Every structure is written in structure tokens, then in C-alpha cells.
A and B are shown apart, each in its own frame.
Chain A
Amino acid sequence: MRYLPLTTDDRAAMLATIGASSIDELFVDVPAAARLDGPIAGLPMQASELAVERHMAALSRGNRAAGEGPFFLGAGAYRHHVPASVDHLIQRGEFLTAYTPYQPEIAQGTLQMLFEFQSQVARLLGTDVANASMYDGSTACWEAIVMARRVTKRAKALLSTGLHPHYRSVARTMAKYTGDVLVDGDPVLEAGTDWAALAASIDKETSCVVVQYPDILGRIDDMTTLAEACQAAGALLIAVVTEPVALGLIKSPGEMGADIVVGEGQSLGVGLQFGGPYVGLFACKTKYVRQMPGRLCGETVDANGKRGFVLTLSTREQHIRREKATSNICTNSGLCALAFSIHMTLLGEAGLRQLAAINHGRAKAAAAELAKIPGVSVLNDSFFNEFTLLLPTAARPVVHKLAEKDILGGVSLGRLYPDNAGLANGLVVAVTETVTKPDIAAFAAALKEVLA
């Protein structure tokens, strides 16, 4: 087997050193009933690189890759162009095949990168500090809800109906077991958000209000008043950002007073990958840092006075605090954080602003084009690169018919909210810089045909 360097002679010599007569003797503590004599039956034997590559390539051809044609899906995962140098750099073996920087003297590469990542994320989201990443946006979101409970010692979380249904679903799963009380619901097909109503329903039991920005229907709104209402009532405002590129164009949640800002960082550097691995962003005000989950990298000096970086405030974490830890998270999403950070460094502020503006412009052009189709209208008053189309018929079958024409034309609200007939005609359409004008024209033509 090509990955295993020991030779038969090596094995014999090593057994002699150990004082064992056979490999089986090393497994003597396994009860006889559970010891397997040969390879597990019914499974294939080892295969060459060529054979495995051939098999996997065949499986991959069973999928319609986004880049093969017009593509308009978003709803929590966005297709952006990732510069070639990002993937090259994350494949440097020193990044790819290292682990958590437990020994900082020989992990300054990872640690400095994490410090830079934390700084970039904090600035992008408009907060004081950010951690070294979570699994993804959805798990970061429920960790934020749990953190708000620790900070406020209250357990009622108000979720905006504009929160991604998967994020809401994850929070509901956890709440069943943690004792959090969630107030939530499906969105209503209105141009505006439910934030004013949320502000009005905050009470003395409310730990936090969770809003998504832009929300699941692509709507954007000012959260300043909501933040003030939270603050006045002693609750925290949690903002969820699933499309961080938006923050190159629209105000950050931190600027508008959000206490905790979490997000899905996949848009930058990571790619679609059928949903994972992604990278959870987690940021907050400095005063809450000791209640944060996950790893934190901090600056310090070494014994010679040179600047260096270490993992810090680890008394929050499971390997020190065990059952009293702020979270059970251990491995996070380091390599995806690196990809995010490299992409952000390549863009810089100027590049991010331009990218965001191009996305917005392209989306506006697409919305205008699609709204010309008889019976089709755009729900949103305002949006970044994603908006909701209202079709004259249920959107879900339309998506399949579009796919037959090789157009991946958005995510139907019927897929996201199968039990809510009131949402069935909604189609969430994302338009990034990867979409061309001919793509938009092809989509509009196909949609017109399908609806005719």
C-alpha cells in the first residue's frame, strides 16, 4: 500500500524489539469475540491512485457544476470568483498538514494568520473582536444564542422571521435540549423586515434578538433602532451575515449597534463545496469576550522580546474547563479561515468595495430584467446581491423545469419552507460577479418560457 512505509523486514525487526511474536499479540486485549481474523468481508481491497481517481471522477460527473451554465443560487451559500493564488497558498503543506497551534514556537504561521483573520473579521463586521472561526454560520448562530443566555442570564431568544430556515432549525434543535425558549416563525412576503415588531416584543425575559442581514429574502434594513431597543431592555442584538461580501457596500451590523455578529464566511475564498466545509465567523464587543466560544489568538512576546502570537483565554475552553466550558468546540475551520483571509487580503478594502458594488449592480440589472416577465415581480424594496421574485405559480416546480433547460435559477421558498403554502410562489435569486449578462438573458428567456 503506497502510503505505508514499513517493510516486512521492518515489521519483523520491530516485533523483536517489542518482544512480541506477532502483530496479533499486540491486539491481545481485544476480546476474542470481537477480534477479526481477516479483512472485513464484503468490502473492496486496496486500489491504485489511477483506479480511485477514475471512480471519483465518475461520481463527480453525476453533478451539474455551477460553472457549467447560468447559475443563480444563494440562500446562505454564494458563488464568487476565488483568485487562483488562494487555493495555491492553502495547499502549502505547512498550512494544510499542520494542526491546532498548540506549540506556538513552531506555529507562528498559523497563529499570525489567525490574528490577521480575527482582525479582518472584526473590522468587516464592525465589532471589537472576533474569534479564530467556528464550523459554519448556522452553528455560530446558535452558539451566539447560548452565549447571550450566559451574558444576560435570561433564556428567551426572539428570532427574526428573516433568519435562514436552516439556522432557525439548528437553533430549535439545540433549544429543545438547552432550555432556551425561542420565539420564531416563517417570513411573510412583504417588502419590509419584521424588526420593528421584534423591537416591540422585547421584554424582561429576552436574552437576545437575532436578525439576519441581508435576510433570507434578500432584504436589508437599518438595525440601529432595534439595537437601541435591545440595549434599553438589557437584551443583546445578534446579527447574522450569510453574505459577507455585502459588507463592502452596506453598513456593518457592529456600526449599527449589534452586540454579537456571526456569519458564514464561505463567500470569500472557500467555494460552494456542496455545503461544507465552510467557516463560521464569530465577533462581539470586547466586554463579552470571556463568554465567547471557540479559539482566540492573541499577541504577546517571546523570551527574547520578539513579537509573537499564541492561543489565549483558553480557560473558556473545553480542554481546560471541561464541563464548565463556554462550548464543546475543539477543531474549528482553520484552513477555510485561511482561505477567507487570503481572499480578503487580495481584495483589500478597495477591492472588496468594488466587488460588492459590481454584485449589487449585476443583481439590480437582473431584477429589472426578470421583473419584465409577465406576472413576475420583485418583492424587495432594497437588496444587495439577492432578491425574492414573486412568480404567478409555485416556484418549486419552476426550478426543476429551469434545471431541465440547464439553468440553475435560484432557490424556491417551497424548498426552504415546504409546509407554508403562502410562500410557495417565492423564488430567491442571487446574482454575483460570476453571472454574465448572457446568463441573465438566458435565465429571463427560460423563465418566461416555463411560465408561459
Chain B
Amino acid sequence: MTALNRAGWRPEMNVAGGADDNVTFTGNRALMLEEPLIFEIGGTGTTGVDFDEAAPAADLGSLARTAPIGLPGLSEAETVRHYTRLSRQNYAIDLGLFPLGSCTMKHNPRLNEKVARMPGFADVHPLQPQETVQGAYAVIHELAEWLVTLTGMHSVAMSPKAGAHGELCGILCIKAALEARGEDRRVILVPESAHGTNPATAAFAGFTVEDIPATDEGRVNLEALKARLGPDVAGVMITNPNTCGLFERDMKAISDAVHAAGGYVYCDGANFNAIVGRVRPGDLGVDAMHINLHKTFSTPHGGGGPGSGPVVLSEALAPFAPLPFVTKRGQAFRLIEEESAGEDHPETFGRMTAFHGQMGMFTRALAYILSHGADGLKQVAEDAVLNANYVLRSLTDVLDAPFAASGPCMHEALFSDKGLAEGFSTLDIAKGLIDEGYHPMTVYFPLVVHGAMLVEPTETESKAVLDQFIGALRSIALRAKNGDPALKTAPHFAPRARLDETLAARKPVLAWED
């Protein structure tokens, strides 16, 4: 433990803690508990697992692993304590408002966890004979039908593992469709306000990425887009509602123009939560859209995944969807894989991942969707949009909202750093919010707004929670406008003060060294 608190109070110091009452021997502060690395507390001979038998002798000759591996073990008691202590250094939705724009941090119902752990879902192998996994195929099929109906699209590819993987799926469908037409279109148009995954995906698939200009009100500039369309443009990737929190009013006209020019429309569905049950992307001319089940349909974010990114497809792109997928014939479900694709799905662009996608997320998402039903999902969109507009309109007197005049926002409210005192930034506001007991909003995204702050409260927050958050953000905004120096060093009450990211990148320490 001494390594954690070299500056701690020691008996030889006489005066308790010297000048600072915060100094303790251990470095702990009551419930704020420091925790060493497993490499500092574990031993390679220690284990928290008992076995029924001794290790039998193996005769693997020169392939035997004889050198030490260096993997520390802990007893079960120590393991539970280690990870419980670590968990307490995290902020989470379970603790409070987590208004991370574009990430849709909503309540994660525990029914979904219970369902995912039913042995018939959790303890099933992906390559079991098809007759032994009809229930699993039924889940995939039922969820697929919901997603298709909710989006008004033709079909859905279920296997993509997360949003960005879904983007890749959609873009490869477009590429395959163009190849089938014998056309070599190389350009994908992406607005500057797009998520970084959009240009990264298009580039990964071999496309050249060009910007779509925006209007002053924060939407795609339809006329400029039309002017750029031509025989070299494969398609567009548009986020709707967009990352400025606005609905793309001209979406149908955009789709029509792109289609008329021979291209396809990819819609980034990260923000589907704003319109689920109220608007069907299929009615707006979209050809492909991924749905982040971990956003709109509340599968837990898990500290950075797993996600799940099914992609709904238009009739034009459906023939190119990846393998495998589930079909229903009579009462029986059947998996279409490489061998059966020839007869049933000859134009597929291929396989994107081993096995069938994120089954553990499908069960959770289906339980979530069934809980809400068509009426509940519509209410989700309405409350999400209402909450965001409430935050937006309650703060425009203290924070600059660059698109406040562009109409109602959708499910997220966007502010800029305009008007803060000299030397104060969006980062300071974010760190101030940490001290107030909130996870900060998304900061410095979208790139089109200076010092952007993107607040997405989601529908699972009450008015009382929002009122307190608005009060907290208001007070921090005023401190930033008045140049309160204490804000520059926030957070003061978190497990750590601001961390030196430059040092981390300049001298990377990425693994424990003995």
C-alpha cells in the first residue's frame, strides 16, 4: 500500500497529517478507497479457484510452457474486494444522470439481465445442431421483425457487433450493390458534424471521403449537396437526427436527390432514440441504417461495450446483406450460412464475424422492446425529446446555444463555449460537473461548434433530476463566465484530479512491468 501514498501521514510526523487534514496513512478517505493493481497484491501461486483433481502430467515436449507467465492470482475474497473497490471509482447511470451526448445513457432494466442469463440463452453454443437452438433463432427472428417494422425498412442484418461495425455493413452493402451494377463510384459524402466512425468506415472500405457543407442553422445544405452529386458519388452518410441535435428537415429531399444521381443513402442511427416509434427512417428514403442496441434499446454500455449494431436495409440493398441470417419456413427457423447462400442469397457480400452476432444483446433488447411495446417506444422518443428541449430552453440565458433558433432540438441539446471568461473552456465546465456529482456531457463534439457541449438526458430522467442538473450547470456556467479560479483545477472531490494525458501519450506505459 505504501506505493499508493508515499506522502501519507506517518507516526514519525507527530502532527496528524501536517498542515493538511486530508492526508491519511493509507491514502484512503473513508469510503473513498484506494486500490492497488493485482500485480501489487496478487501472487502467481495464489488462486481463487479450487479443482476436484490434481493437474495430470502432460507430455507436450518442447511445446510445454515452462517459463513463468507472471499472472497474479487472488483468493475469491480478495478478488471480490478488489473489483468492488475498483467499481466504486466509476460513475455510472445507476448513480445518476449521465448526459453523454450521442451515447444515449438510459436506465438499464434488470429484467434484461435476468433474461440474458436464462440457460437456454446464456449456455448455448453457436454451432449446435439447428434443431437444438430453435429458441435462439426465434429470438433473432422476433427482434428482426420489430426492428424492420419500427424503421419501416425491408430487412435487417443482425450480425454486426457494434455501431461502427454496422456502418461497415451498410457501406459494404452499398459497395456490393454498385459492383453488381458495374459502377465504380469512389466518393462518399459525409457532413463535418458526423461521428468519426463515418469517415473512418468509408475510408476503410476504400472510399474517398468528402465533406458535405452545412447551413448556418446546423443542417445539411441541400443545394450544395445536390451540386456535388454525380457519377463518382457512391452515396452519403447522414446522421439523423444529426449531431447538432436537429432533425434533418430535408432528409427525404436529400434521399431523392442522391437516388436520382445513382447513389445510396446511409443513415447513422446512433440518434434513433429521438424518433423511435414516431418516425420510420424507411419513409425518408434511407437505404441502410445501423441501430445501436446499446443506445436506443438499452443494452448496458458495460464500460465500453459490448455493443450491437444491426443494420436495417432497403429493398435495393437487402440482396447484399451479410451472412449468416435466420429465416422462417413454416414453424421452423433456419440459419442461412455460406452453404445455403447460393440458392437463397447469392449476392451477399459475405461474412462479417464468426457466428451470428451479439445474441446476449438481442435477448436484452427484445425484453426491452416487449416491455415498452409500440406505445411505450413512442413515449420514449417523446420524453427523450421533451427532456432535451427542457434542458436547452432552461439554460440559454447562461450558455450559448448556437442552434437555438433553428427550431426544437431532438433528444440532445447543444451548447458552445462562447461567452466564457478568458482562459476558461468547455473542459473546465465538464470537470466542474464532476464535482457536482454528474458525468459530464459529450465535449468538443460535434467539431463544427467551438467548445461543443452535447447534453443528452434521455427519457429515463425525472423532472426533479433535470431541475437539479440545470441548477448545477447554471452555477458552473456562471463560475466560468466570472473566471472562478477554483474551476480551473476541478474536479476536487473525485477519486483523481485532472490526469496528465500528455505524459501518458509521450511515454506510454501500457502494461505492468515487474
Closest-by-CB residue of B relative to A273 is: B360
Judge if B400 is at the interface, Cβ distance under 8 Å: no
- Chain B residues within an 8 Å CB radius of A79: 123, 125
Given A358-B56, A360-B58, A85:B504 Cβ within 8 A? no
B58 to A119, Cβ gap below 8 A? no
Interface residues of B in 334-368 (CB under 8 A from A): 338-339, 349-361, 363, 366-367
Q: How large is the interface on B (under 10, 10 to 19, 20 to 34, 35 or more residues)?
A: 35 or more
Q: Which of A20-28, A154-162, A185-193 forms contacts with chain B?
A: A20-28
A357 to B505, Cβ gap below 8 A? no
B55 to A324, Cβ gap below 8 A? no
B510 to A289, Cβ gap below 8 A? yes
B200 to A36, Cβ gap below 8 A? no
B370 to A60, Cβ gap below 8 A? no
Judge if A105 is at the interface, Cβ distance under 8 Å: yes
Complex Cα–Cα for A109 and B427 (A):
21
In the assembled complex, the CB of B491 is this many whole angstroms from the nearest CB of chain A, namely: 5
Q: Which of B305, B350, B355 contacts A274 (CB 8 A)?
A: B355
Complex Cα–Cα for A303 and B376 (A):
46
Judge if B489 is at the interface, Cβ distance under 8 Å: yes
Q: Which of A119, A301, A347, A348 contacts B43 (CB 8 A)?
A: A348
A62 to B135, Cβ gap below 8 A? yes
In the assembled complex, the CB of A429 is this many whole angstroms from the nearest CB of chain B, namely: 12
User: 3 tightest A-B contacts by CB?
Assistant: A348-B73, A62-B135, A275-B355
A29 to B247, Cβ gap below 8 A? yes
A312 to B374, Cβ gap below 8 A? no
Judge if A391 is at the interface, Cβ distance under 8 Å: no
Interface residues of B in 41-83 (CB under 8 A from A): 42-49, 51, 53-58, 60, 62-65, 67-74, 76, 79-80, 82-83
A-B contact pairs, 25 of them (CB 8 A): A4-B459, A4-B460, A6-B462, A15-B386, A26-B389, A33-B252, A45-B375, A49-B111, A55-B370, A63-B120, A75-B127, A79-B125, A98-B301, A99-B303, A106-B491, A110-B304, A112-B35, A113-B86, A118-B511, A119-B511, A123-B511, A264-B354, A328-B197, A328-B200, A345-B38
- Chain A residues within an 8 Å CB radius of B367: 52-53, 56
Complex Cα–Cα for A408 and B126 (A):
12
Given A34-B280, A301-B499, A403:B129 Cβ within 8 A? yes
Judge if B226 is at the interface, Cβ distance under 8 Å: no
Known: A14-B389, A43-B150, A418-B338. 20 other contacts (CB 8 A): A2-B371, A6-B387, A10-B463, A41-B374, A56-B367, A59-B120, A61-B120, A75-B127, A77-B125, A90-B302, A92-B87, A93-B92, A94-B90, A97-B301, A105-B431, A106-B91, A129-B510, A276-B353, A323-B200, A347-B47
**A to B contact number (C-beta, < 8 Å):** 713
A347 to B73, Cβ gap below 8 A? yes
A318 to B500, Cβ gap below 8 A? no
Judge if A95 is at the interface, Cβ distance under 8 Å: yes
Judge if A342 is at the interface, Cβ distance under 8 Å: yes
Complex Cα–Cα for A14 and B167 (A):
36
In the assembled complex, the CB of B122 is this many whole angstroms from the nearest CB of chain A, namely: 6
In the assembled complex, the CB of B165 is this many whole angstroms from the nearest CB of chain A, namely: 6
B126 to A43, Cβ gap below 8 A? no
Judge if A169 is at the interface, Cβ distance under 8 Å: yes
Complex Cα–Cα for A106 and B196 (A):
24
- Chain A residues within an 8 Å CB radius of B349: 173, 176
- Chain B residues within an 8 Å CB radius of A46: 371-373, 375-376
In the assembled complex, the CB of A231 is this many whole angstroms from the nearest CB of chain B, namely: 20
Interface residues of A in 148-188 (CB under 8 A from B): 164, 166-167, 169-170, 172-173, 176-179
The digit string for B473-509, where 1 denotes a CB below 8 A from any CB of A, is: 0000000000000000101001111111101110011
B39 to A28, Cβ gap below 8 A? no
A358 to B74, Cβ gap below 8 A? no
B354 to A76, Cβ gap below 8 A? yes
In the assembled complex, the CB of B69 is this many whole angstroms from the nearest CB of chain A, namely: 5
In the assembled complex, the CB of B307 is this many whole angstroms from the nearest CB of chain A, namely: 4
B48 to A77, Cβ gap below 8 A? no
Judge if A42 is at the interface, Cβ distance under 8 Å: yes
B462 to A116, Cβ gap below 8 A? no
Q: Which of B10-18, B204-212, B415-423 forms contacts with chain A?
A: B204-212
Given A57-B118, A59-B120, A177-B172, A334:B305 Cβ within 8 A? yes
Judge if A248 is at the interface, Cβ distance under 8 Å: yes
- Chain B residues within an 8 Å CB radius of A59: 120, 135, 138-139, 142
Judge if B95 is at the interface, Cβ distance under 8 Å: yes
